[in-house]
Amino acid sequence: MKISLTLQLSFITMLVVLFLINSPVYGHCLGDQKALLLKLKNGLTFDSSLSTKLVRWDQNTDCCQWPGVSCDQKGHVLVLELDNETIFRGLENPTSLFDLQYLEKLNLAYNHLNSVQIPREVYKLTNLTYLNLSFAGFGGKIPMELSRLTKLTFLDLSNVALKLESGDLKTLVGNLPNLRELYLDEVYISWKGIEWCSTLSSSLPQLRVLSMKNCGIS
């Protein structure tokens, strides 16, 4: 009986050890994820005296513990919040940002990007459910590649320097059936009449919040 009990305890102990060995450590980022984040940081131009997040990204620490970064249990970066980081250059060309394939939330709001266009490569972030580019300094036409982010539930493109043609509005929202919140404040939309209203209502069945202040719609 004693032998049997000892064997049982040994077996249970072995199972616990195996479980701990094979279980992912929450918050311990993967090497490739850290490399992508450091490459992103090195490619950005920002005011280090005003930065509260990027300036604290240290290659000697766990990147899942960096300010503005959150990971899943396997160490993949899921959230990147770089709002108010005084970024004014570094997103006009393809960057490692768009190689963060597991990213679900991206916030670049309130930066100073000098009217550069929203990178078309954003379509690569196919797992995004939240995208906030409001008043980040982007300018020009809103790229239709955004319409490929079909998992989006939140989208904020509010910015006085951005514009959207009437046909593009229909294309953009037509592929975002899961969208619940849409903000287009200050975006110049060249659309006359009220057709835009029926376009939005028919294309976005899940929409709960819509803000289009000062869009120039007549």
11 confidence band (pLDDT: 50, 70, 90): low
Q: How confident is the model at residue 157 (pLDDT cuts 50, 70, 90)?
A: very high
Per-residue pLDDT for 204 more than 60? yes
Select the highest-mean-pLDDT range: 18-27, 100-109, 161-170: 100-109
pLDDT band per the 50, 70, 90 thresholds, residue 192 = low
Beta bridge partners of 11: none
Query: 28-42, 151-165, 181-195 — which is least confidently predicted?
Result: 181-195
Per-position DSSP letters for the chain, written without gaps between them: -HHHHHHHHHHHHHHHHHHHHHS--TT---HHHHHHHHHHHHH-B--TTT-SSGGG--TTS-GGGSTTEEE-TTS-EEEEE-TTS---BS-SS--GGGG-TT--EEE--S---TTPPPPGGGGG-TT-SEEE-TTSS--EEPPGGGGG-TT-SEEE---TTEEEEHHHHHHHHHT-TT--EEE-TT-EEE--SSHHHHHHHHH-TT--EEE-TT----
Which residues are within 8 A (CB) of 205 and not within 5 positions of it... i.e. 6 or more apart? Answer: 177
Q: Is the dihedral of CA 166, 185, 78, 99 positive or negative?
A: positive
- Give the residue extent of every domain in the chain: 27-211
- What CATH number has the domain spanning 27-211? 3.80.10.10
Side-chain half-sphere of 166: how many Cα atoms within 13 Å? Answer: 12
User: Are 107 and 81 spatial neighbours (Cβ–Cβ below 8 Å)?
Assistant: yes
pLDDT in tens, 93-136: 778 999 999 999 999 999 999 999 999 999 999 999 999 999 99
Higher pLDDT, 17 or 45: 45
Q: Tell me, what's the pLDDT at 31?
A: 96
- How much is the pLDDT for 8? 58
The answer to whether 171 touches 144, Cβ cutoff 8 Å, is yes
